[in-house]
Structure 1
């Protein structure tokens, strides 16, 4: 979908007119529908401050974008995300986090009691997945931050528990999730592929080094057995290193008849270098082979997650009385800086995972439903990366946030720690999350679809 600046200007005018703005033709400018509140479910893309507590709050963070009001520096540096822009445009109360708190390292300021804020209806949480309770940042992953990552299915259940097991039908409900299912599945695959590569590399290193060291002995076969045993023994010893393993192997080799010369560094050094090269090649191949063999499983898992999200919308949101539900599909994760830093094979895998999720989500939602607005964030985000200028984007490949105490995450990114230069029209705050400007574009896109749907 190709937009131009003129189209965006017309879009904005149409939205303003629908919401009561000035229209050149005059006429009824009354908003067609009046929503009583905004209820949001999802992950970091919709999280307005679940983790804005403790050390995160002290650092000026809490949302996954460029945090803080930087409008004095540039009008686009609002610190807002798309659901905040949406609520403001519809004259709804500013969204607030339904739950706040962290379950991380107390010494670092990441252990803050979890509190339920009963008058707040933004249930989205950074790191949340569709059904799995363990997402990125969760303490179970080893993260010191200790994000709660309450999954989408539980977020909806929590709201229903508050509201008498039903929606009133006058809320505007937003649902956006699935990105962390992609990230966690990839993380699991990467760890397993790395382990497979390390195991293959270690085995190849031992074999290559053994055969080279044994070649000069009077009886190479007997020497190989002795060297192999020495390597195995040292490898199993706690605290062993490549250097100690090589030392054990060389010592065992030099004691074999006819092989004393191998003890000289000038002799065994090149052998170690070759063994390391062999190990590196074998490890890389084993890791790649593992990823290739197991990648299709991840695609299937994301398809399942997409179907689960659709069923949740149908059964527990629309099925429980919601009449105005915005369901957004996954943006083009494969075009984010995080994905672009990976190999071509992994980028292709990410694209396939996102496609599987979106396909099953849309299929699960079924035919056109007056209560559900399906927003295609994938198509627009894909076009923004390829054709940034018409959207007013100046950079779609480099994160705006610079290094901070938590790495480069936008959770504590502020206007004080962005990279040099004007980042106000960048697409990405960090390697995956959008800037306030991009969030505003998303909100405008959603408002346009709401107008077309007849909700504005």
Structure 2
């Protein structure tokens, strides 16, 4: 069951160093730099257990991957994320969440008092954004989970408050943030585009049906107005549906003098034609809205990346941090969630991610205290060429996300008991967006390689 890559490079310190190219000299296993502690900020990918409490813990969950150590069955299923693996490589204690708790529905076990952990410096929280406090799973979104989603900006302030306002300068600081901001922007864009499409579709349906039904009346112009009014009134009535709207139009047409419209053989094809025209109009309107608003989302995410740069420079470096590794946004469009989108949306995602990452690159250019890690290029290559990376499936989820198996439909409560059948240990994704422990390991290996090249490891 041991994968060749694991045989060549174990996930302990020797593994990450040996895979790093310009690693320690022969016989040297200790890092070049001795960091006093590891501090991490971000979202799902770096969360080491903020929500591992209450019902989440009872369900065998707590982190956004395949939870639990199942390595006895499949060596890759360690249950660890990349920040835990890096801590091992650095000879540091396993990272622990800076706070734990949930602010959700008590009836479901999702209300657990928030507790600060004074000696823990892993601030990343699943669902967190860069500056906005309402992230994925927050109760303000209507989610019963009540995820805390303290943003990156707050995470940093919380750490500074804990350590007296200054970094000592010998900590290694990791930042991985931005994915949830993208998700929120896309969700809002999709909802608004759908609303625009639905509105245009309803208008097109009513116009088409009224026009067809009025054509057989003695005064088509007046009939069209009366039929249109009847259709609008029925559509606005609570409890109406497509059939009742059509029948309202038919009745109005009969009253307007088109008695033949009462036959299903007559109004049926008319309704079908109206529905086809409505679908075309709705699709066009939705696409037009997305095309018009997409550039605004690109601009918004570019500003968000600028906020990341500002926080890192002003609050991290400006307060004494000397070693900051920032992981850019991965190839989101290649995740199962991204793959499910139409081509136009995938292209928009790529544009957004490129702009976000380019802003990070420009913002940190020439800054020797910041190591920018290009997760995007690696993740895109992993999607296009999975075999050299040891990946067996990068299109499907390893976790069974059905309600019966996974009540949250999320990697947060995925574990060895609710995986899909067969060996999923080398799948890329646990759920639609969150990586498996194996993909986490690939990220850890990349981080180690870049730290070695930088002289930090």
TM-score of the aligned structures, taking structure 2 as reference length: 0.93
SS in 1 for 2:392: coil
* Distance of 2:256 and 2:269 partners within structure 1: 20
Match of 1:412 in 2: 413
Match of 2:87 in 1: 87
* Distance of 2:37 and 2:262 partners within structure 1: 78
Stretch deviating more after TM superposition (290-299 or 128-137): 128-137
Instruction: Give the Å deviation of 1:203.
Output: 0.5
Instruction: List alignment gaps of at least 5 residues for structure 2.
Output: none
Match of 1:116 in 2: 116
TM-score of the aligned structures, taking structure 1 as reference length: 0.93
Verify the 8 A CA contact 1:18 1:30 in the aligned structure 2. Answer: no
Instruction: Give the Å deviation of 1:368.
Output: 3.8
Distance 1:25 1:327, change over 3 A: closer
> Within the alignment, does 1:272 sit opposite 2:267 as a pair?
no
* Distance of 1:346 and 1:267 partners within structure 2: 40
Match of 2:96 in 1: 96
Match of 1:453 in 2: 454
SS in 1 for 2:427: coil
SS in 2 for 1:298: helix
Instruction: List alignment gaps of at least 5 residues for structure 1.
Output: none
Match of 2:422 in 1: 421
Instruction: Give the Å deviation of 1:105.
Output: 2.2
Stretch deviating more after TM superposition (86-95 or 112-121): 112-121
* Distance of 2:30 and 2:298 partners within structure 1: 45
Distance 1:50 1:25, change over 3 A: closer
Match of 2:317 in 1: 318
Q: Deviations over 1:170-200 (max 9, x none)?
A: 2111000011111110000000000000000
Q: 2:385 aligns with which of 380, 384, 387?
A: 387
Distance 1:32 1:232, change over 3 A: same
> Within the alignment, does 1:241 sit opposite 2:241 as a pair?
yes
Q: How many residues align?
A: 447
Verify the 8 A CA contact 2:9 2:19 in the aligned structure 1. Answer: no
Match of 2:444 in 1: 443
Instruction: Give the Å deviation of 1:30.
Output: 4.1
Match of 2:134 in 1: 134
RMSD of Structure 2 on Structure 1 (CA):
2.2
Distance 1:30 1:200, change over 3 A: closer
Match of 1:164 in 2: 164
* Distance of 1:434 and 1:18 partners within structure 2: 21
* Distance of 1:9 and 1:88 partners within structure 2: 14
Distance 1:159 1:289, change over 3 A: same
Q: Deviations over 1:91-112 (max 9, x none)?
A: 2111111122222222222222
* Distance of 2:15 and 2:272 partners within structure 1: 67
Distance 1:43 1:278, change over 3 A: same
SS in 2 for 1:398: strand
Q: Deviations over 1:288-325 (max 9, x none)?
A: 01000110111111111111101111110111011111
* Distance of 2:25 and 2:325 partners within structure 1: 29
Match of 1:50 in 2: 50
Match of 2:364 in 1: 365
SS in 2 for 1:431: coil
Verify the 8 A CA contact 2:393 2:428 in the aligned structure 1. Answer: yes
Distance 1:18 1:320, change over 3 A: farther
Q: Deviations over 1:324-353 (max 9, x none)?
A: 111111111111111111011100000010
* Distance of 2:422 and 2:159 partners within structure 1: 42
SS in 2 for 1:34: coil
Distance 1:341 1:17, change over 3 A: closer
* Distance of 2:29 and 2:151 partners within structure 1: 39
SS in 2 for 1:397: strand
* 1:150-189 correspondence runs (5 A): 150-189=150-189
* Distance of 1:343 and 1:439 partners within structure 2: 27
Instruction: Give the Å deviation of 1:236.
Output: 2.1
